Amino acid sequence: MEPLLGTAGKTPDAAEIADGLSARGEYVVRLDPLPTQQLVDLHWAAHRAGQLLGIKVRVYVQGPIREIDPMVTITISPRRHDRSRLAAG
């Protein structure tokens, strides 16, 4: 899945993440990890999206690659036991 490009100062909200999880089974976004509050807000929004859908989610952060790419890729997906619940809903 091609990640969405996060915009400076705009962290995806829970509804946007929930929509992505419902439509594609996961939500992937690339953003600058600084300020770190942005990552904290995204993590909170991911778990709130899971609550909206009645599932638990996994948040996986990949990167940054030192001196090559300062951006991180965040993948939000249902936990293994909740995948079927998302597909059924």
Query: Residue 23 is part of a domain; what is its CATH number?
Result: 3.30.110.20
Tens of pLDDT, residues 14-47: 999 999 999 999 999 988 888 899 899 999 999 9
Determine the structural domain holding residue 37 and report its residue range: 4-88
CA distances to 22, 39, 43, 80 from 73, in Å: 20, 11, 13, 20
Q: How many domains does one find in the chain?
A: 1
Residue 8 has pLDDT above 50, yes or no: no
**What's the rounded mean pLDDT across residues 43-60?**
96
